[in-house]
Amino acid sequence: MEIRLRVFRFQPEKDQRPRYDVFTIETDPTERILDLLEYVRGDVDGSLAFRRSCAHGVCGSDAMRINGRNLLACKVLVKDLGTSEITVEPLLGLRVIKDLIVDMGPFLEHYKSVMPYFINDDIPADGKEFLQSPEQRARFDDTTKCIMCAACTTSCPSFWSNTEYVGPAAIVNAHRFIFDSRDTGAAKRLEVLNEQFGVWRCRTAFNCTEACPREIKITQAIAEVKQVLTSGKLE
């Protein structure tokens, strides 16, 4: 089939404003959007900039807007879009560095702010490891699946209106440790999330949940964190 691929192009240090380049490509419906971008960069225009690494939905580096939705370019087939007109744009809410590459700095700062690592200075009772039941492990299983693609945070209207909002990805990663029975850092994380730009900026828009390529129940995870803050009980 023949498709028309419209690609957002912008190099801030050279261009006064962004433009869209159009590439007409003969392709197979089972090709991925990432394959189309690779073709353009490899065979048509080597100056096209985009991120990718694993090409298999694991690293989270190729999240972008494809026909208006935040998706991983390596997980979307041409036939999935149901049209031969395909527009590819960078994620919203983060500064464009070049073409489809955005500055992930603010996103990663929010992630760091919730201390997304295991905190426990105690010594395990058996001197070797902290034990956990399957039920305790299941409590935070969903939020362990995050691949830090930023599709959620950059689809959130609260983040678009104020990028100081910590955002759903950071809350998901805080949730992963807050509800881990072996971790002792919940109070510190909850303090961060109870601040002006923490969880209360979430207006339950659900865009984040719709955008997540790992199908994490993000809005539910945020609600659970809010519930702990309201009740004062970690359950």
Q: Which helix (H) or strand (E) holds 35?
A: helix 33-39
Interface positions with ligand F3S (CB under 6 A): 156, 158, 168, 202-208, 218-219, 222
- Please classify residue 57 by burial: count the beta carbons closer than 10 Å to its beta carbon, then call 0-12 exposed, 13-18 middle and 19+ buried: middle
Nearer to ligand SF4, 99 or 142 (CB): 142
Under a CB-based contact definition with an 8 Å cutoff, are residues 192 and 171 in contact?
A: no
Name the one range near ligand SF4 by CB under 6 A: 19-27, 33-41, 143-151, 226-234.
143-151
58 binds, options ligand FES, ligand F3S, ligand SF4, none, Cβ within 5 to 8 A by partner type = ligand FES
Least Å distance between CB 158 and ligand FES? Answer: 25
Q: If binding is defined by CB under 6 A, does position 150 make contact with ligand SF4? A: yes
166 binds, options ligand SF4, ligand F3S, ligand FES, none, Cβ within 5 to 8 A by partner type = none
Q: In what order do the strands lie in the sheet with 63-66?
A: 19-26, 2-9, 85-89, 63-66, 69-72
> Which residue of 88, 97, 166, 216 would you call a contact of ligand SF4, by CB under 6 A?
216
Identify which of 147, 61, 131, 140 has the alpha carbon closest to the alpha carbon of residue 100.
61
Interface positions with ligand FES (CB under 6 A): 52-55, 57-62, 72, 74
Q: If binding is defined by CB under 6 A, does position 214 make contact with ligand SF4? A: yes
Least Å distance between CB 72 and ligand F3S? Answer: 18
Cα distance between residue 51 and residue 134, in whole Å: 37
From residue 201, give the alpha-carbon distance in Å to each of 52, 171, 204, 223, 225.
31, 11, 9, 12, 13
Query: The tokens of 35 are what?
Result: 């394959």
Least Å distance between CB 56 and ligand FES? Answer: 6
Nearer to ligand SF4, 7 or 216 (CB): 216
Identify which of 94, 72, 215, 223 has the alpha carbon closest to the alpha carbon of residue 151.
72
Which residues here bind ligand SF4, judged by CB under 6 A?
Answer: 60, 146-152, 168-169, 172, 211-214, 216, 218
